[in-house]
Amino acid sequence: MISSVTGTVKSTSINSIVVEVGGVGVLLQVPIRIAAKIQSGEKVSFHTYLIVREDALTLYGFTEILDRDFFELLLSVTGIGPKVAQSILANSDAGTIANAVVSSNLKTLESVPGLGKKGAQRLVLELKDKAAAFAGGKVGSNLATSNQVENALQGLGYSSKEAGAMLNQVMKEEKIEGLSAAQILKLALKSSGKQ
């Protein structure tokens, strides 16, 4: 997966930019609030998230890793795809949206184009606990490490549900504070009986 892009901006539009990296123009879909601030010729660095579809490879870019991680979290919500997730982050950063989710501020969430009343309710229902880590404006290292471990477990063939359950089991039984992703992964595999 392409996790970051650094280069010179060749062109901008309402919600995308082209960044030249080593002579290749890379199209990044970015939140409107970010695209509005960027000028052609500017040197930029983005954290990215790649969506692979049958007919397209789409790269989403974020100036803050917190926004990228929250974008990934939004994609886990039933009925929310990359376009709606990007729309949610179009005018506000991850911390602001997370605060709205944690405080069940449906009015703010319903105002997001493409989300609507039912989408806002689903967002609160499915993300209230997980969004709390983003609400302070900083993602804890534990959350970032947990995401890495969950992704690694899925890479080893476990479903998203199985990976989440294994990680939750380890967090209940062990103190993971200060452990590396590799150490937590080993504990998760050990708890499932596989190593």
Residue 30 has pLDDT above 80, yes or no: yes
Name the CATH topology of 65-135: DNA polymerase; domain 1 (1.10.150)
- Looking at residue 139, its pLDDT comes to 43
Instruction: Give the chain's radius of gyration (CA, Å).
Output: 18
CB 32 within 8 A of CB 91: yes
Q: Is the pTM of this model over 0.85?
A: no
- Looking at residue 19, its pLDDT comes to 95
CATH 1.10.150.20 domain residues, the chain: 65-135
- Angular region, 79: left φ>0, alpha ψ -120 to 50, beta rest: left
In 3D space, the residue among 55, 60, 80 whose CA is nearest the CA of residue 4 turns out to be: 60
Q: At a CB cut-off of 8 Å and minimum separation 6, what does 163 contact?
A: 149, 150, 153, 154, 188
Per-residue pLDDT of 81-98, as tens digits, reads 999 999 899 888 888 888
Q: Burial level of 139, CB count in 10 A (0-12/13-18/19+)?
A: buried
In 3D space, the residue among 62, 116, 65 whose CA is nearest the CA of residue 89 turns out to be: 62
Q: Are strands 57-62 and 24-29 parallel, antiparallel or unpaired?
A: parallel
In 3D space, the residue among 147, 172, 171 whose CA is nearest the CA of residue 160 turns out to be: 147
Lookup: tokens for 163:
């990976």
Q: How far is CA 181 from CA 27, 49, 86, in A?
A: 31, 20, 28
CATH 2.40.50.140 domain residues, the chain: 4-62
The more confident residue out of 45 and 194 is 45
CATH, domain 4-62, list 3.30.70.260, 2.40.110.10, 2.40.50.140, 3.40.50.2300: 2.40.50.140
- Looking at residue 74, its pLDDT comes to 92
Lookup: tokens for 158:
């476990």
